[in-house]
Amino acid sequence: METTEKKVNKVENDKKDPVIVIKNLKKSFGEKVVLTDFNLSIKQGTNVVILGKSGSGKSVLIKCIIGLLKPDSGSISVFGDDITQMSYDELNESRNRVGFLFQSNAIYDSMTIRENLEFPLRRHWVDITEEEIDRLVAEGLESVGLASTIDMMPSELSGGMLKRIALARTMILRPEIILYDEPTTGLDPITSREIEDLILSLQKKNNASSIIISHDMNCVKHVSDVVVLLLEGKCYTESTYAEMAVSTDENIKQFFL
């Protein structure tokens, strides 16, 4: 069943302006059509999960949204600006407002945890003071419950701890939109739940919106306001988890087996 909190969120979100609007997106690689007339609108503070079979184009979609891949046609408006028309510098500027949590975490093995968290601050906020860096790094680690790891090397931490560190690093620039690629893959159920709780609480604090790629139906159930099923390059359905769970559509039912 849908929780009362989720129903209230849905009503409130319906009143808000979209932060991402994707229109008629098309992307092929040679003969292989991956996305075709894909449309999606995401409102502020909403968590949208993209569900789809392996190879359905979820990663290609995310890469188009962060500008790593150029679509063949269509538009992707982020905070009102079409990123498909942006120059390299403009795209870099817009990335300040969009965070990305890689499936692999993308933590630098040769840097301490402190240096890993400092990295985006030094790169994107060039005028930041050393005091401010120290404060934000300490605050970031505190927010994921790992303040004591500040001077450790990544090799000393478990997979779940590294995921928390990656989350703290993603959140350190206070992104307004966060894209998560399979955030709980490879983690045990208890650690997965902790990561999902952290995702929800950190996002709520920043009133951020998110797109989450996931195959993990427990994660989908827990974090999604909206679930989009990507099928044959299109947005096949857009509904809540509760609506999907009672669907009789064979394409939807297969995710609940």
Binding flag, residue 254, ligand ATP (CB under 6 A): no
Rounded to a whole number of angstroms, the minimum distance from the CB of residue 100 to ligand ATP is: 14
Rounded to a whole number of angstroms, the minimum distance from the CB of residue 67 to ligand ATP is: 14
Rounded to a whole number of angstroms, the minimum distance from the CB of residue 13 to ligand ATP is: 26
Residue closer to ligand ATP, measured from CB, 29 or 108 = 29
Binding flag, residue 95, ligand ATP (CB under 6 A): no
State which of positions 55-74 bind ligand ATP (CB under 6 A).
Answer: 55-60
Residue closer to ligand ATP, measured from CB, 49 or 117 = 49
Binding flag, residue 163, ligand ATP (CB under 6 A): no
d(CA 52, CA 229): 6
Binding flag, residue 54, ligand ATP (CB under 6 A): yes
d(CA 103, CA 187): 11
Rounded to a whole number of angstroms, the minimum distance from the CB of residue 51 to ligand ATP is: 10
Rounded to a whole number of angstroms, the minimum distance from the CB of residue 54 to ligand ATP is: 3
Residue closer to ligand ATP, measured from CB, 28 or 41 = 28
Residue closer to ligand ATP, measured from CB, 54 or 155 = 54
Instruction: Report the 3 state secondary structure along the chain.
Output: CCCHHHHHHHHHHHCCCEEEEEEEEEEEECCEEEEEEEEEEEECCCEEEEECCCCCCHHHHHHHHCCCCCCCEEEEEECCEEHHHCCHHHHHHHHCCEEEECCCCCCCCCCCHHHHHHHHHHHHCCCCCHHHHHHHHHHHHHHCCCHHHCCCCHHHCCHHHHHHHHHHHHHCCCCCEEEEECCCCCCCHHHHHHHHHHHHHHHHHHCCEEEEECCCHHHHHHHCCEEEEEECCEEEEEECHHHHHCCCCHHHHHHHC
State which of positions 14-53 bind ligand ATP (CB under 6 A).
Answer: 29, 32, 34, 52
Residue closer to ligand ATP, measured from CB, 136 or 230 = 230
Residue closer to ligand ATP, measured from CB, 68 or 246 = 68
Sites of contact with ligand ATP (CB under 6 A): 29, 32, 34, 52, 54-60
